[in-house]
């Protein structure tokens, strides 16, 4: 294993290693631009993802490039900053060293901002059947499944199959689930109603399921009830107080009922990155790292944990929510504390300034809470648009997103309705099915073959030969 840089003695400046290029990690790096430190940001991806708008990629409202910016481009003007593409798998606090697949790197200060991952609550076999919505790959896979369902329903002669294909189940009625349900309903009932010849997309069924008694349970009761009314007005079936018991190829077992569906989206929960456990520090029940008032570890003030991975207590003593504004404020505060320490000053405690929360449900429909004020409808939707444009990284991204939203609002269209191939883990079963059907159509019977010996191209060639000889 090789060192990513020279030893500490040869560096000349303290090194700050940031793990994670999300909201928190990126803001730490940006706020250390003029500090007398060497900054190394490590992320397994080469881009910063604006996760709050990931559902719009999943529902064909935006392109992937609209919500992702190359980290190197964002930090290109920072001469004291280096970007390393790699996945960190271990941290040695005693040696002050971070290990990733390409090597290792020492640190003087460590900022862990690795975020969260989809949580299936011990039912990992559901992962292939119900993709989550945490990564860009997840968003593209959800989009593929949603659009593919309409395409398959268009050509099938089986009414029962068409009904299952046009039934979309979203598990989890938090902000992500609510926004997904509203967007899918809008696509089916308004955007694509004139695009097909054999099916009526407006008859598509969108079901939002949650074990809680309310949608948007973190919001005020009135806001939650307004969101539920808006969703139902858009044609979404809201099923509450119902726990998902099983997910199969044919559908979802919810409570004592079975919903036939070929497209299930999981938005029911998240789990902490396993990287937090390598710190050998106190963890909460969700696997988040418990940090002190200044966001550092109780027994190591050179290690900070911020963002979704941190259990940082708010003024009420409860853990702060995993929201982008929390991560951004924590990132800025951590950078300032590091700069204070370099000047021989003490750390200052972190105080979160709650700027509210909001969720969009569809065209001109949203809910928002800012302080004690609650908004809904067009005003809340305009607030939502403005805030999300403000937080997007890069002028190009803001401009393109604004144009796409204008196009969608005026023309009731979705600009990114492209079905693209996604990671191999999602595609293996589909590829095998296509190969099998190619042989069945040519021979009229099920053929058995070895995937490793026959390529898809070869299978189609043989099928054509057989077809031509009949």
pLDDT mean across residues, the chain: 86
Q: Can you spell out the DSSP letters for 314-367?
A: -TTSSBPP--HHHHHHHHHHHHHHHHHHHTTPPP---------EEEEEETTEEE
pLDDT of 406 higher than 90: no
Any idea which architecture 124-267+357-411 has in CATH?
3-Layer(bba) Sandwich (3.50)
Does the pLDDT at position 411 exceed 90? no
Q: Which contiguous run of DSSP H or E holds residue 161?
A: helix 159-165
Question: How many CB atoms sit inside 10 A of residue 260's CB?
Answer: 16
pLDDT by residue (tens digit) across 97-141?
999 988 999 999 999 999 999 999 999 999 999 999 999 999 999
| pLDDT of residue 453 exceeding 50 | no
The model's confidence at residue 442, banded by pLDDT at 50, 70 and 90, is very low
Domain edges within the chain: 2-44+86-118+271-342, 124-267+357-411, 424-460
User: Would you say residue 212 has pLDDT above 90?
Assistant: yes
124-267+357-411 has the same fold as 2-44+86-118+271-342? yes
Mean pLDDT in residue range 83-95: 96
Distance, in Å, from the CA atom of 376 to the CA atom of 411, rounded to the nearest integer, reads 23
Task: Tell me the per-residue pLDDT of 313-371, one tens digit each, with 9 for 90 and over.
Answer: 998 889 999 999 999 999 999 999 999 999 999 999 999 999 889 999 988 899 999 98
- pLDDT beyond 90 at 292: yes
Cα of 237 vs its chain's centroid, Å: 24
Confidence bin at 31 (pLDDT 50/70/90): very high
Specify the CATH architecture of the domain 2-44+86-118+271-342: 3-Layer(bba) Sandwich (3.50)
Flag whether pLDDT at 389 surpasses 50.
Answer: yes
User: What pLDDT is recorded for position 424?
Assistant: 44
pTM of the model: 0.84
If one counts every other C-beta atom within 10 angstroms of the C-beta of residue 189, the result is 18
- The 3-state DSSP class for residue 89 equals strand
Contact 23, 351 (CB under 8 A): no
Burial tier of 170 (Cβ tally within 10 Å: 0-12, 13-18, 19+): buried
Q: Which pLDDT belongs to residue 436? A: 52
Question: Is it the case that residue 421 has pLDDT exceeding 90?
Answer: no
Decide if 114 contacts 309 (C-beta within 8 A). Answer: yes
Residue 415, pLDDT above cutoff 80: no
- Residue 449 has a pLDDT of 40
Among candidate residues 2, 52, 32, 213, the one with its CA nearest the CA of residue 109: 32
Q: Which of 208-217, 358-367, 453-462 has the highest mean pLDDT?
A: 208-217
The residue annotated as part of the active site, out of 179, 225, 237, 282, is 179
Quick one: pLDDT band at residue 309, thresholds 50, 70, 90?
very high
Got the DSSP string for 121-157?
TT-GGGTTTS--SSSHHHHHHHHHHHHHHHHHHHH--
CA separation for the pair 231, 247 (Å, rounded): 24
**179: annotated active-site residue:** yes
User: 96 vs 16, 39, 278, 303, CA distance in Å?
Assistant: 11, 15, 12, 9
């Amino acid at each position: 294993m090789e060192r990513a840089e020279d030893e500490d003695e040869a560096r000349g400046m303290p090194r700050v290693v940031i793990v994670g290029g999300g909201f928190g990690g990126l803001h730490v790096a940006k706020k250390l631009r003029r500090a007398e430190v060497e900054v190394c940001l490590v992320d397994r991806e080469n881009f910063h993802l604006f996760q709050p708008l990931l559902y719009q990629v999943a529902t064909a409202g935006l392109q992937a490039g609209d919500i992702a910016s190359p980290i190197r481009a964002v930090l290109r003007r920072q001469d004291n900053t280096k970007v390393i593409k790699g996945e960190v798998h271990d941290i040695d606090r005693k040696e002050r060293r971070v290990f990733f697949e390409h090597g290792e790197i020492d640190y003087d200060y460590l900022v862990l901002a690795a975020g969260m991952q989809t949580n299936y609550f011990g039912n990992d076999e559901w992962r292939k059947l119900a993709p989550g919505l945490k990564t860009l790959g997840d968003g593209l896979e959800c989009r593929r499944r949603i659009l593919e369902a309409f395409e398959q329903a268009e050509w099938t002669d089986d009414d029962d199959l068409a009904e299952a294909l046009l039934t979309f189940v979203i598990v989890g009625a938090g902000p992500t689930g609510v926004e997904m349900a509203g967007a899918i309903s809008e696509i089916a009932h308004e955007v694509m109603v004139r695009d097909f010849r054999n099916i009526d997309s407006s008859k598509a069924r969108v079901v939002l399921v949650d074990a809680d008694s309310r949608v948007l349970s973190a919001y005020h009761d009135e806001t939650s009830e307004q969101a539920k009314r808006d969703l139902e007005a858009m044609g979404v079936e809201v099923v509450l107080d119902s726990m998902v018991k099983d997910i199969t190829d044919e559908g979802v077992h919810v409570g004592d009922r079975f919903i036939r569906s070929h497209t299930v989206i999981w938005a029911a929960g998240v789990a902490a990155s396993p990287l937090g456990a390598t710190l050998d520090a106190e963890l909460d029940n969700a696997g988040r790292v418990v940090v002190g008032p200044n966001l550092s570890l109780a027994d190591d003030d050179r290690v900070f944990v911020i963002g979704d991975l941190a259990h940082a207590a708010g003024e009420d003593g409860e853990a702060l929510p995993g929201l982008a504004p929390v991560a951004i404020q924590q990132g800025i505060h951590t950078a300032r504390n590091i700069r204070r320490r370099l000047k021989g000053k003490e750390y200052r405690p972190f105080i979160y300034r709650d700027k509210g929360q909001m969720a969009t449900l569809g065209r001109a429909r949203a809910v928002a809470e800012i302080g004690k004020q609650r908004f809904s409808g067009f005003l809340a939707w305009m607030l939502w648009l403005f805030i999300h444009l403000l937080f997007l990284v890069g002028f190009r991204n803001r401009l393109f997103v604004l144009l796409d939203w204008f196009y969608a609002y005026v023309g009731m269209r979705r600009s990114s309705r492209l079905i693209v191939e996604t990671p191999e883990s999602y595609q293996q079963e589909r590829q095998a099915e296509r190969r099998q059907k190619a042989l069945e159509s040519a021979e009229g019977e099920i053929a058995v073959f070895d995937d490793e010996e026959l390529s898809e191209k070869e299978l189609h060639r043989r099928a054509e030969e057989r077809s031509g000889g009949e």
